[in-house]
Chains A and B, each alone.
Chain A
Amino acid sequence: MTLRLEPVLVDTGSDDEEGLLVFSNDRLVAVLVRLSDQHDSSAGSWFIESSFGIRDGHRTFPDLTAAQEWISAALLGARR
């Protein structure tokens, strides 16, 4: 499953504002946010701020590849 990413600024009420809209088949399925320095050891990780059609979406991943793999797998699971 190919995901399309589109940069976006997200107002999370915190320093975490660098985000990506994640599309699958031109449908928005998740909003990823890059964690800022206020998260110490997790800084730079990608957090699923919001997701659509995916259960238990609030997860953190060390990099974008891992985040996309998990989202793809979760979408496949949701369609089963």
Chain B
Amino acid sequence: MQTTPLLRRLQAIATPTDEEREVLASLSGATRQLRPNEDIARVGEQPSVVCLMLEGIACRYKISADGKRQIMSFHLPGDMPDLNTLFVHTMDHNFGALVPTTVITVPHDKMRGILVRYPRIAHLLWRETLIDAAVYREWIVMRDRPAYARVAHLFCELFLRMQVIGLSKDLSCPLPLTQLQMGDALGLSDVHVNRTLQELRAEQLIRLEGGTLTILDWEGLNYAGEFDSLYLHLKRAA
């Protein structure tokens, strides 16, 4: 079912009722396929739909005056990263795909109707956006740490988020991001990301091959990244 990642995501942070699950499962809209680096919404636009991610990885980002891209968050299947446009109409950041990505676009009116009819779903999605804000807070602190800790932290977070939506297998998950994309999120050059990956590999903490991340030592990677999953507010952890 198309909406499975969304249900998994929400069930990881709350307990929706059968009726709420049914309503969420029946969310539908036009399907949109995006190429890597294709934007979904840009600064200044006023979208009339919200995107539910089905496949791929997207990000929120801004471009500085000297052309540098800062990625502020990564988004995975099940996320609705532009849900805020329901209430804050003008995009103050860009939202785009990083790898081949599929979304469905749900018209604002339809989404508003659901929130009015099912207040508990509104609460659920509110909770989701609050956790989104918690991730921002964590990243502010994380980006102040050495390169080694930043990369390790990112891997711990992405692995847990992939696990929640059923995309992990044992301690492996897809991670098709380039070093440049990781660097733009972590405030590091691709050279520093590459050096750090070599370091994490040499210490037998991870393997990263063919777009798949395998964590060889979960505790060790948590320690390296000073990672505590509390801010993700998951009901269960790895």
Contact = CB atoms under 8 A, between A and B. Distances in A.
Given A13-B199, A14-B198, A35 B66 contact: no
Contacts of A12: 195
A27 interface: no
A39 interface: yes
Contacts of A39: 191, 194
Contacts of A72: none
B66 A14 contact: no
Interface stretch (A3-11, A18-26, A55-63): A55-63
Q: What's the dominant secondary structure at chain A's contact region?
A: loop
A35 B37 CA distance: 27
Interface string B177-197: 000000000000111101100
Contacts of B117: none
A16 B189 CA distance: 14
B191 A35 contact: yes
A2 interface: no
A38 B191 contact: no
Interface in A27-60: 35, 38-39, 42, 47, 55-56, 58-60
- In this complex, the interface size class of chain B, counting residues with CB under 8 Å from chain A, is 10 to 19
Contacts of B191: 16, 35, 39, 42, 47, 58, 60
Contacts of A56: 66, 68
A16 B195 CA distance: 9
A55 B194 contact: no
Nearest to B67: A56
Interface string B46-88: 0000000000000000000010100000000000000000000
A78 to B, nearest CB: 12
A59 B99 CA distance: 24
Nearest to A49: B191
Contacts of B190: 60
Given A14-B198, A14-B199, A58 B192 contact: yes
Contact of A14 (B68, B189, B195): B195
A14 B192 CA distance: 10
A59 B66 CA distance: 13
A2 B191 CA distance: 27
Nearest to A55: B66
B90 to A, nearest CB: 28
7 contacts: A14-B195, A14-B198, A55-B66, A56-B66, A58-B189, A58-B191, A60-B190
Interface of A: 12-14, 16, 35, 38-39, 42, 47, 55-56, 58-60
Interface of B: 66, 68, 189-192, 194-195, 198-199
Given A39-B191, A47-B189, A58-B192, 9 more contacts: A12-B195, A13-B195, A38-B194, A39-B194, A42-B191, A47-B191, A55-B66, A56-B66, A60-B191
